[in-house]
Amino acid sequence: MPTSPTRAYLILHGWQNHRPTPHWQHHLTTDLRAPGHEVHHPQLPDPDTPDLDTWLAELTRHLGELKADDRTVICHSLACVLWLHALHRDLVTVQPDRVLLVAPPAPEILARYPEVSAFAPPPLAPERLHRTRLVASAGDPYCPGGAAKVYGEPLRIRTDVLPASEAHLDLPAGYGSWPSMLEWCLDPAEEHTFVPR
């Protein structure tokens, strides 16, 4: 009789991401599945011209399919504000044990692009962010005001700020395998510090 996976992970990509194999999310999916963890890393529909309602439906579907009791949600870029919309609309009926927001884009950046302007973050009370953490770089071109100031402080969530050279924590910034991310997933201790790849 097969055993249940120890932990479950939902890994959500951002705008224009077609889940390339060199990306840290692909590496993370492979590394977490190797010891038998349950990992959902879906290709969200139309990543170049995403629809907010469609992506929300996919998020809630995949979150509902997680079988393990210990659930972690990891969002990169546009998926971070997708998660905020899911909370705002009360679509998250079972709270995950941990949520990690990675390099969320600033509202003014989203407003510049018609393809993603509907994703502009909704108003959200800090208490809605159950066990949420944020990691971003000081030099993210998609969040020029700094993720700590734009998201971390108003939402009162712990924020790890990496050096400016790490940019958007994506493939152009060199983010293939990211050992520090894998370590946090396997042992999400409060004292864990994210470091560059």
pLDDT tens figures, 134-178: 999 999 999 999 999 999 999 999 999 999 999 999 999 999 999
Greatest Cα pair distance, the chain, in angstroms, is 53
pLDDT tens figures, 81-134: 999 999 999 999 888 999 999 999 999 999 999 999 999 999 999 999 989 999
pLDDT tens figures, 44-92: 999 999 999 999 999 999 999 999 989 999 999 999 999 999 999 999 9
Mean pLDDT of the chain: 95
